[in-house]
Structure 1
Amino acid sequence: MRAGWPVAQAGQAVGLLGGSFDPAHAGHAHITREALKRFGLDRVWWLVSPGNPLKARGPAPLDVRMKRARDVMVHPRVEVTDLEARLGTRYTAQTLQKLIPRYQGVQFVWLMGADNLAGFHRWQDWDWIMESVPVGVLARPGNRISARRSVAARRYEDARLPGTASQLLARGDAPRWCYINLPLSDASSSAIRASGGWLS
Structure 2
Amino acid sequence: MRAGFPTAVAGQTIGLLGGSFDPAHAGHAHITREAIKRIGLDRVWWLVSPGNPLKARQPAPMADRIAQARAVMDDPRVVISDLEARLGTRFTAQTLRRLKALYPGVRFVWLMGADNLVQFDRWQDWEWIMRNVPVGVFARPGARLAARGARAAEEYDRFRLPGEAARLLPGLHPPVWCFLDVPMVDISSSAIRERGDWRQGA
TM-score bracket relative to the smaller structure: over 0.9
Runs of 4+ aligned residues of structure 1 deviating over 6 Å after TM superposition are none
Secondary structure at 1:29 match in 2: helix
Q: Note the residue ranges of structure 1 that are not aligned, 5 or more in a row.
A: none
1:53 maps onto 2:53 in alignment: yes
In structure 1, distance between residues paired with 2:18 and 2:58: 16
> What residue is the counterpart of 2:75 in the other structure?
75
In structure 1, distance between residues paired with 2:137 and 2:161: 11
The alignment yields a C-alpha RMSD, in angstroms, of 0.7
In structure 2, distance between residues paired with 1:154 and 1:51: 28
Secondary structure at 1:8 match in 2: coil
8 Å CA contact 2:64–2:199 kept in 1: the answer is no
In structure 1, distance between residues paired with 2:149 and 2:60: 33
Deviations along 1:166-190, whole A, 9 cap, x unmatched? 1111011100100011111111111
Deviations along 1:99-136, whole A, 9 cap, x unmatched? 10100000110000001001100100000000000000
In structure 1, distance between residues paired with 2:108 and 2:117: 18
Deviations along 1:126-160, whole A, 9 cap, x unmatched? 00000000000001111011100111011111110
In structure 1, distance between residues paired with 2:20 and 2:115: 15
Alignment of 1:45-124 (within 5 A): 45-124=45-124
User: Percent identical across equivalent pairs?
Assistant: 67
Secondary structure at 2:4 match in 1: coil
1:38 maps onto 2:63 in alignment: no
In structure 2, distance between residues paired with 1:48 and 1:144: 24
Secondary structure at 1:36 match in 2: helix
- More displaced 10-residue stretch of structure 1: 83-92 or 180-189: 180-189
1:167 maps onto 2:167 in alignment: yes
How much has 1:197 moved relative to structure 2? 2.2
> What residue is the counterpart of 2:138 in the other structure?
138
In structure 1, distance between residues paired with 2:59 and 2:158: 37
> What residue is the counterpart of 1:153 in the other structure?
153
> What residue is the counterpart of 1:10 in the other structure?
10
In structure 1, distance between residues paired with 2:65 and 2:20: 8
Secondary structure at 2:187 match in 1: coil
Secondary structure at 2:153 match in 1: helix
In structure 2, distance between residues paired with 1:108 and 1:150: 23
Secondary structure at 1:79 match in 2: strand
> What residue is the counterpart of 1:182 in the other structure?
182
Number of residue pairs aligned between Structure 1 and Structure 2: 200
